[in-house]
Each structure stands twice: as C-alpha cells, then as structure tokens.
Amino acid sequence: ERLDERLRTDAYADLDASANGLQVGPGGPAEADPDIDHAAFAVDAAVETAERAADAQSDVLCVHHGLFWGEFERATGPTYDRLAPFFENDLALYVSHLPLDGHPEIGNAAGLAETLGLEDREAFGTLGGEHIGLRGRSPDEFAPDELRDRLATECDPEQGVKHLDFGPERIENVAIATGSAADWLDEAVAAGADAFVTGEGKQAVYHEAREAGIHVYLAGHYATETFGVRSLLSLAEEWGVETTFVDCPTGL
C-alpha cells in the first residue's frame, strides 16, 4: 500500500549506501514491497531477533547491523542458520547501518544528542565524504560526573558508563559517534570538543585521551545504537504500520 512505499522511497532512499537496504527478500534492493503490515525493529540481525520478529507475525525485520558484511560465497554453517528463519518465515531483512548512524534527525547520534539537549548541532565523524556522528553545545555546561550519570541513565542504567576523566572541569562541547567509533577521537580533539561519547572503546584510547586532555565516555555499543531503530519504529507507526521492538541487549 501507499504508506509502505513511502517507508522505502521517502524515508529510506536518502539513507541508502554500501550494503544497506533490503538484504534478504524476494524483491531487488531498491524495490518497494507493497504489503508490509507488521514491521519489527532490532539493533542486530541474528537467529534470536529473527525468530522473535517471526513470532510477532512481522513481514520485515529492520535492523542496524545486518547479516552481510563484505563478501561471502557460501550459505553454510552459521550463515545458513541465520538465513534459515528468514526463508522459513517469509521474513524480509532491511538494514540501515552507517546511514542510520549519521542521519541528522533520526540517526543514533541524533537521538542521543537530543536526550542530552545539545544545541547548534553539526555533522561529526567523517568517513569518506559522509558523517557518522554529530557534535553540539550544551547550553548549561556539564560537570564531568554529571554527564557520566546522564549517559548512564539514558543508555544503560545497569552497566553504567566507563569514563576516562582527562578533560576540563566544565564540558560545553560534546562530540558523539555511537557504536565502536574510538578512531574518531582525533577528530573530536581537532574539533575542540571537551568530551567524546561513543559506545565501545579500545585500549589505545586511554593514552590518546590523556595526552590530548579530553573526556571520553564509553556508553555501550548496543545501548548507544537503540536510538536510531527506535526512531525508525516511530516513523513506521506514523505511517500506520504495526510495529514491534525486539529488545535484545548485549551488554557490550
């Protein structure tokens, strides 16, 4: 129906890059599927999320992390196991990876920036000619501990947030790149950020942050990337599609 076509063409078209769009399904990657009644949304495509989407009678599972990364040349072993629930339940798989990281309104970083109340937002996290994050200014500066607690509340109250406490006492400029984006620390420093928020860290970040004098907050890969798929879910609901959010936190 018309709303479903809009789901594809109007909202997603501008998101499409590399391996994004339809990953499993009878149509071509850019084709509109005319009969979506129920759409499920999850961060990761996996056996568990596919089965829970099928249990909810979904026609399509929309995710941030898809099944196919780079080339593959067999459908055997784990690849077979992950494809099977899609074929067996007539379930399509729709993926939006980097486009959903960087989208200025419904992206992951955008959702997190919104909850932190950042203003004067600009694109951040260059990758090729595109961006995968956002940065902005907090009208009321954060104290370092205050920002850590805010992030913990919004992202993962249970696990909390890891804080590398090497920056200034008042935090005005915040750069955000969700997921595993520690490689963009340098860009955050160059952009004059007081704090850099991402999901997963990596060992080398510690001394880089210390020597550059910047706060780093690691708020969880899964936790920081629920914002985008939840925005897609809201959009689908506005179009009259039934929706299910398949929450399957990894604690990572």
Beta bridge partners of 39: 60, 243
Contact criterion met (CB below 8 Å) for 210 and 185: no
β-pair type (162-165, 60-65): unpaired
What would the x/- binding string for a copy of itself be over residues 35 to 64, using CB under 8 A?
---------x-xxx----------------
Q: Which two tokens stand for residue 32?
A: 């509109």
Query: 3, 13, 78, 115: which one contacts a copy of itself (CB under 8 A)?
Result: 78
In degrees rounded to 5, what are phi and psi of residue 68?
Answer: -110, 115
Query: 80, 115, 168, 234: which one contacts a copy of itself (CB under 8 A)?
Result: 80
Decide if residue 167 touches a copy of itself (CB under 8 A). Answer: no
Q: Which two tokens stand for residue 164?
A: 């590398």
Q: Which two tokens stand for residue 169?
A: 């006492």
| C-beta of 160 vs 242, nearer to a copy of itself | 160
Query: 211, 237, 238, 240: which one contacts a copy of itself (CB under 8 A)?
Result: 211
Decide if residue 179 touches a copy of itself (CB under 8 A). Answer: yes
CB atoms within 10 A of CB 140: 8
Contact criterion met (CB below 8 Å) for 190 and 23: no
Decide if residue 153 touches a copy of itself (CB under 8 A). Answer: no
| Binding-site ranges for a copy of itself (CB under 8 A) | 19, 21-29, 44, 46-48, 65, 68-78, 80-84, 86-88, 162, 164, 179-180, 190, 199-208, 210-212, 221-222, 250-252
